[in-house]
Amino acid sequence: MDQDHNSAKHVRPRNREGKINFEPHFRPGDTEISATDALLIAELDSTYAVSGNEDAAEPLIITTPNADYLPFIDLGSRTVQLKRDGRWGAEDWTQWPQWFFDEFDYFPYVLRRPNATDLPVHPLRRIWWNMKEADFIKENGYGSSDVGRLNPSIVEEFDVLHADLTKRVLACDCDRSSQTYGKLKAAAAGLQDSVSLLRDTPQSSANVRATVAIVQRLYLETRALLDKIEKWDRLSTLQQKHKTNPSIVGTVTDRLGLVYDFFAKGVPVWLVRPPALIPRTINIVKHGALTRPSAAFGIVDEPWPKVPPFYEGELSPAMYGGLHKWNPGAVCISNVVSANGSDRQERYTPDEEAQPSRNPRQHLEPFRPSLSPFSSQPLLEWENALRSVESDKTRIVDHPLKAIYEGYAFPNPYLAFTGDDKETTAFILAWLLTREEWINSMTNVLPTRQIPLPRMSEWTSYLRDIELDFNLGEKHTKAWRRNIRRKAKEIKDKFPCSHQALDVSAIEWNGHEVWRKGSVKLDLFDRRMLYYDVQEHNFRMELHTLDRCIMADEWENTSQAVTRHRKVLAVFPEGSLLAVTFIPGSPRLANEKWKIRAPYVEAFRALISDWPGDVPRELAGIRMQSGKEGDRVIWSKDKMRIVERKAYTFYCQTYFDYFGRTPSIPHVLPVKDT
């Protein structure tokens, strides 16, 4: 068949509209459809200069031996935008057949959206469901802010679907050293984190919608990878051709070997080739029309408002790789209007001297609390633990995650926000502009992060770049601005929130407006809350990443990772790593009243007790609870003091041993003077 396919080049007649006439045709005595025959056949709308196409003006031909429609496929350059439903439209592999690339060889096995009749009763209907405004429940304690969560009953449905699929992943009988299994683990871990995000973390309604789409996409990916391993790769085609499975998406290709394989397995497949390579002996059942992506397939074409294109370029594996990495916040979803920024067009010339660093000692971090007037104080137990760290570099552990997590998930306030000059104020305003989007992006990015967290010098370049975009600080020389632009461009991969020149009329923080076009209103309490915010978030993220490094084997196991994740979250009153706001007076690990902080000290003890070493074993044997009165727990103050002294000292030393720098520690939540 291949020989016939490659040798029968000829020109077919065209009709008045310029289209090739494909009349029904069957080989004498043979009406059976083989892999390269056409159950349906049509021309693509565009022309392409490809190998074997002698005339680039000739549109390519698409055929299928087993599908019930011919998908419109664009093989040229494209602009990919996030759509209003949080998906990628026709470029979304969970919605529409894609061009086959070896790197994404599981795309053909993604479950196809059921038709309108079957969808309402399908057991996986939530996986193709679109969130409505009424499904977003605003969170108490955030005032009029658009912060909340998905309706808990819907989250519970996703939880059940995730749990059932996780059981299958854990029971998978396969080669666990294979690349496909590695992809399966990564997809399952991403699904777990995304479902946890929906359940545990308040977000803007826009980011909740985007997170729902990510949960759905990761579910379908995990399921496709699992089905590939357990079913499709094991399907024997030596003795029989399998019936076409219309419940999966299928794929488009120009590779004959793939077409034969997919056709034999019953996977919907479409073959693209130049018209000169359509053999005269081809069986043609019907000349069809191209089906365009539409609402009938669940595809939304309306772009997400005011979000720039995510990808512009050729069809390639890099496009899908980039779409894979996107998370809520990475395109800075917000109600701001794009504006032109002339500085972005300036080119950096290496021979122009840049202004020196504002803080030449930025890497010299003492093991003591900040003396800044803007910092609240840590508890004495934490301060003593920090001072006791032995900073001998020979102690530092060589481990595979060190390079990823040794930076800062949030700016270090000691270095960025301590001054009281105009430049520090510009840094603060730059951070406040990107803070909420950064929080949302870190929620999904951190657990599976492959790019190192930014060093403080990189945070400096990032914030200065934002300062330039919004004209927040003093005027600088062209050489200085060009140097900042160059540095920001070099580190853009470390900052998933893509800030562009935007027209923002005001900045809010701490419940009120702190900046409006040249007027700054940052009072002492605003500065203290800002300081606390980044201190607390850095502590939370560092605790989380240290647990991932120490308990790496458990984090690799999907069910055990759920337990580790929940143990970490139990240390914090919000039940999440990240918080858009901190409510004054709420209980927490650094509360000055021991009875109020006791439950969080106990959660910290339970987390650390699982780590290897003598101190964790000691902590595991300490019972802080001395009894109960009804539903109220009676705590032992003496036992809690022992736990705090041992656990905090061990934590600070262990953090240095793993990352070679000062750990962030929790501070007392500031209180506004009345």
Q: Where are the domains of the chain?
A: 1-112+248-260+270-318, 122-245, 337-659
Q: What is the CA radius of gyration of the chain?
A: 29
pLDDT (0 to 100) of residue 174:
87
pLDDT category at 239 given cuts 50, 70, 90 is: low
481: Cβ contacts below 8 Å, ≥ 6 apart: 343, 346, 468
User: What pLDDT score does 554 carry?
Assistant: 92
Alpha carbons 92 and 94: distance in angstroms, whole number = 5
Pick the range with the lowest mean pLDDT from 4-18, 230-244, 284-298, 324-338.
324-338
Which of these, 642, 648, 608, 607, lies nearest to 622 by C-alpha position? 642
pLDDT interval class at 275 (50, 70, 90):
confident
Which residue(s) pair with 79 in the sheet? Answer: 312
Predicted pLDDT of residue 228: 96
Q: Which residue has the higher pLDDT, 71 or 349?
A: 71
Given this model, what pLDDT does residue 334 score? 34
Does 518 score more than 80 pLDDT?
A: no
At 272, is the secondary structure helix, strand, or coil?
strand
Position 76 scores a pLDDT of: 83
Q: What is the pLDDT at residue 607?
A: 97
More confident residue, 387 or 105: 105
**Beta-carbon neighbour count of residue 40 at 10 Å?**
23
Q: Write out pLDDT tens, residues 93-145.
A: 999 999 999 999 999 999 999 999 999 999 999 999 999 999 999 887 665 56
Confidence band, pLDDT 50/70/90 cuts, at residue 362: very low
Is 22 a residue whose pLDDT tops 90? no
- Highest mean pLDDT (candidates 421-430, 478-487, 539-548): 539-548
For 148, other C-beta atoms within 10 Å of its C-beta total 17
Could you tell me which residue, 564 or 58, shows the higher pLDDT? 564
Mean pLDDT of the chain: 83
Buried b (16+ CB within 10 A) or exposed e, 301-338: eeebeebeebbeeebeeebbeebeebbbbbbbbbeeee
Residue 639: per-residue pLDDT: 92
Residue 296: per-residue pLDDT: 84
Helices 558-569 and 179-200, packing angle to 10 deg: 30
Mean pLDDT of 460-466: 87
The answer to whether residue 219 scores a pLDDT higher than 60 is yes
- Cβ within 8 Å of residue 161, ≥6 positions away: 124, 126, 127, 219
pLDDT of 517 reads 77
Residue 546 predicted with pLDDT over 90 = yes
pLDDT at 190 over 90: no
Cα–Cα distance, 529 to 665 (Å, whole number): 15
| Contact of 232 with 267, CB cutoff 8 Å | yes
Contact 236/180 with Cβ under 8 angstroms? no
Q: Which of 127-131, 370-374, 428-432 has the lowest mean pLDDT?
A: 370-374
Taking residues 67-95, what's their average pLDDT? 92
pLDDT greater than 60 at residue 366? no
Residue 115 pLDDT: 92
The arithmetic mean of pLDDT across residues 414-425, rounded, is 70
On the question of pLDDT at 418 being above 90, the answer is: no
Q: Is the pLDDT of residue 224 over 50?
A: yes
Does the pLDDT value for residue 229 go beyond 70?
yes
Q: In this model, does residue 667 exceed pLDDT 70?
A: yes
The pLDDT value recorded for residue 324 is 76
Structure tokens given for 615: 């101190």
Instruction: Tell me the per-residue pLDDT of 588-635, one tens digit each, with 9 for 90 and over.
Output: 899 999 999 999 999 999 999 999 999 999 999 999 998 888 888 999
The pLDDT value given to residue 416: 62
- Answering whether pTM is above 0.85, one says no
